[in-house]
Amino acid sequence: MAINKAYLNARHDESSDECMTPFYAVEPLLKYIPRNKTVWCPFDKEWSAFVKLLSTRNEVIHSHIDEGKDFFTYKPKHFDIIISNPPFSCKDKVLQRCYELNKPFAMLLPVSCIQGKKRVEMFMKNSLQILAFDLRVDYHTRGNMQETTKATYFGSAFFCKDILPLSLMFASLKKYDQSLGEKASAKRERLYQPSLFEEFEEMA
């Protein structure tokens, strides 16, 4: 049996939480976010790809625990949707908090989060939508905001509530490297064409 050496050598604790999302991983989600909604990005600073891309089309509130705004105790006065890439080590608490806030949300998490007794019970009690990708997301790690770390050992997907038109959607990633310090371009939205699944839905 083949051994995934990258997985065996990778960290799976809080030290692995620094996975900063590249622009290309946010882009497939944009078309599902109404432009008249206020988006809260609760694990993000101003340079986040979520903040930069969503700000080209929505009002965005960003917060971070480094600023004394802990997701588990803080929330803005007004927001319509929650979108972010949370620390993977506390994914269960993050999902639980999202459901408790009772707002539409999209959290970028490892695909393996679909499993787990407590999580499955949570998904069955509430509702779950998934936006899955054809490729693995390469994240910015080790403080490198210029380029992503290639050969990620895990797949990622957006775990959502009341965001997508169907429970399971698919999107093709178009990878490119762009520094998180650069300005986002709203024009890149047009690069994303509907998936075969979406085209079938429109024809039905």
- The span from the CA of 56 to the CA of 125, in Å, is 35
What is the rounded CA–CA span in Å between residue 185 and residue 54? 10
Confidence of residue 5 (pLDDT cuts 50, 70, 90): very low
Please state the pTM of the whole predicted model. 0.82
Q: Which residue has the higher pLDDT, 90 or 12?
A: 90
Q: Which domains are seen in the chain, by residue range?
A: 16-203 (3.40.50)
pLDDT digits (tens, 9 = 90+) for 74-87: 999 999 999 999 99
Continuous H helices in 30-151: 49-54, 91-101, 117-125
Residue whose tokens read 């929505």: 58
**Residue 146 Cα distances to 41, 63, 84, 116, 181, angstroms:** 21, 22, 20, 34, 8
Say which range, 13-17, 80-84, 137-141, has the weakest mean pLDDT. Answer: 13-17
pLDDT the model gives residue 192: 46
Across the range 11-40, mean pLDDT stands at 82
More confident site: 6 or 190: 190
